[in-house]
């Protein structure tokens, strides 16, 4: 029974790289957005919240299509990257990262915003009366109290990026070692009727996703007793 080829392993490695880089960027970008969403009384809150949640309901092909256009030579993003000497993003690893960040944004922002909201105003007020400025408070009070939210956001952001297909296909194509991730590789194997190899990859994905969710839900149950204190 044939196992994974080196091309398959390359796809696995690329997928993990993409997920790791995207998750790191997602946490950096998602934290301030989530903080703003959790704290603001602005009338733009609804609009920003809806925009962040769009990838939850849009077909990935729609996101991919608009990204392709935006990152192309005539798109806003494309002109910007070209002017900066970065070249064009479609069909590159960097392009996949941009796509993944947008595609997985709600999976990171929503758990973080929920965690920040659950903290409430009080610990922030207490910290202020104990002479901690806003930045100090964020790192010494908010981050530790929101830790479960960060763990959930990291796991979901990573797993969701690993499971991405449509956006990748639209903006990344299928370039071995550059943009061919596991989900695309499976599609290729099936197209070529290489079911055995498709099984290996698909089974791997299934096991990975199950373990991730098991960890996530098992953790939630374990935490339920601890409460918020």
Partner 1 sequence: MTDDPLAGASTAATAATGAAQGSPPPAASIEARFAVDYAGFRLDVDLRLPGRGVTALFGHSGSGKTTLLRCVAGLESAARGRLVVNGECWQDDARGILVPTHRRALGYVFQEASLFPHLSVRRNLEFGLRRIAAAARRVQLEQAVALLGIEALLERMPERLSGGERQRVGMARALLTSPRILLMDEPLAALDHKRKQEILPYLERLHDELDIPVLYVSHSPDEVVRLADHVVMLGGGKVMAAGELHATMARLDLPTAFTEDAGVVVDGTVAAHDDHDHLTRLDFAGGAVWVQRQPVALGRRLRFRIHARDVSLADHRVEGTSILNLIEVTVTEVVGADSPAHVLVGLDAGGTALIARITRRSSAQLALRPGRRMWAQIKSVALLG
Q: Is 72 in the site for partner 1 (CB under 8 A)?
A: no
Q: Is 185 in the site for partner 1 (CB under 8 A)?
A: no
Is 147 or 220 the residue whose CB approaches partner 1 more closely?
A: 147
| Three-state DSSP string of the chain | CCCCCHHHHHHHHHHHHHHHHHHHHHHHHHHHHHHHHHHCCCCCHHHHHHHHHHHHHCCHHHHHHHHHHHHCCCCHHHHHHHHCCCCCCCCCHHHHHHHHHHHHHHHHHHHHHHHHHHHCCHHHHHHHHCCCCHHHHHHHHHHHHCHHHHHHHHHHHHHHHHCCCHHHHHHHCCCCCCCCCHHHHHHHHHHCCCHHHHHHHHHHHHHHHHHHHHHHHHHHHHHHCCCCC
* Given 144, 177, 210, 214, the residue binding partner 1 (CB under 8 A): 144
Q: Minimum CB separation from partner 1 for residue 118, in Å?
A: 12
Q: Is 115 in the site for partner 1 (CB under 8 A)?
A: no
* Given 4, 94, 132, 202, the residue binding partner 1 (CB under 8 A): 132
Q: Minimum CB separation from partner 1 for residue 114, in Å?
A: 17
Q: Is 227 in the site for partner 1 (CB under 8 A)?
A: yes
Residues that bind partner 1 (CB under 8 A): 122-123, 125-134, 136-137, 140-141, 144-145, 227-229
């Amino acid at each position: 029974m044939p196992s994974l080829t080196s091309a398959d392993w390359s796809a696995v490695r690329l997928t993990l790289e993409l997920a790791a880089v995207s998750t790191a960027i997602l946490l950096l970008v998602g934290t301030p957005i989530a903080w703003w969403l959790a704290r603001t009384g602005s009338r733009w809150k609804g609009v920003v919240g809806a925009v962040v949640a769009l990838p939850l309901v849009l077909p990935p092909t729609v996101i991919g299509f608009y990204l392709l256009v935006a990152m192309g030579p005539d798109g806003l993003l494309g002109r910007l990257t070209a002017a900066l000497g970065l070249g064009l993003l479609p069909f590159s690893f960097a392009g996949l990262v941009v796509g993944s960040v947008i595609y997985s944004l709600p999976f990171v922002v929503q758990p973080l915003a929920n965690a920040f909201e659950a903290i409430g105003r009080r610990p922030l007020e207490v910290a202020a009366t104990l002479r901690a400025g806003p930045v100090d408070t964020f790192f010494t009070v908010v981050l530790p109290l929101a830790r479960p939210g960060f763990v959930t956001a990291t796991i979901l952001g990573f797993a969701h990026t690993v499971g991405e297909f449509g956006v990748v296909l639209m903006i990344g194509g299928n370039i071995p070692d550059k943009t061919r991730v596991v989900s695309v590789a499976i599609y290729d194997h099936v197209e070529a009727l290489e079911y055995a190899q498709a099984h290996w990859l698909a089974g791997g994905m299934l096991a990975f996703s199950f373990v991730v969710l098991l960890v996530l839900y098992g953790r939630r149950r374990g935490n339920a007793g601890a409460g918020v204190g």
